[in-house]
Amino acid sequence: MPQTLTDGLRLLRAFVDNPRQVGAVLPTSRTAVRAMLDLADVPSADLVVELGAGTGVATREILARLGDDARLVAVEIDPQLARRLTERLADPRLQVVCDSAEDLGSHLGGERADVVVSMLPFTSLEAGLRRRLLDQLPRALRPGGTALVIQYSPLVLGELRRRFAGVRTRVTPWNVPPAVLFACTGPTEG
């Protein structure tokens, strides 16, 4: 079976098991992922963190852009999706963490990332959990770093503006549904 189809079925199964946690029935398109990653300097990063790696569509693209000595920490809460990522993406630069992104700090050992990429479904999550996850974005970033966020609506914009001095927004129609991309800089807390 083609990889895109198996990835789609895996995400659909995860969605059926836990709709609010997964928040999407289709994987994000590679075109949308590329448009999002174009908003940050991934090739110069020493450390990239991805939250909600899912089927790995962004994980693969980050690895394709990342330098040889750089690292990617990909956090995914669903054990089956996380295991599949570990099996499929054997790359010494990649560490897959199966945990909630709320606990990101405990996996970074005091390090901060140059780029944080969030695939988390903020709008479908319970409000308290959403706030705790959003708080991780500025906390995990180095000064001068960029947090990238992909969503299917602009609803999270106000919450991003409260946490970052600068938030750029783009819309890409090359996704089902069309995706809103945010590039956030200058954390105001954390």
CB of 69 to ligand SAM, least distance (A): 26
In the bound complex, what is the minimum distance in angstroms from residue 58's beta carbon to ligand SAM? 6
Residue (55 or 172) nearer to ligand SAM, CB:
55
Closer to ligand SAM by Cβ: residue 2 or 165? 2
- Whether residue 173 is preceded by a cis peptide bond, meaning omega within 30 degrees of 0, is no
Minimum distance from residue 27 beta carbon to ligand SAM (Å): 3
Chain positions contacting ligand SAM, by CB under 6 A: 11, 14, 21-24, 27-28, 51-52, 54-55, 57, 75-78, 81, 100-102, 119-121, 133
Extended beta strands in the chain, E state: 47-51, 71-75, 94-97, 113-118, 141-151, 164-172, 179-187
Cβ pair 85, 50 in contact under 8 A: no
Whose Cβ is closer to ligand SAM: residue 77's or residue 140's? Answer: 77
Looking at the Cβ atoms of 124 and 186, the one nearer to ligand SAM is: 124
What's the closest the beta carbon of residue 129 comes to ligand SAM, in angstroms?
Answer: 7
From CA 150, how far away is CA 116, in angstroms rounded? 11
Amino acid 114 reads D
Can you tell me the distance from the alpha carbon of 96 to that of 13, in angstroms, rounded to the nearest whole number? 20
Residue 35 phi, psi dihedral angles, 5° rounding? -60, -40
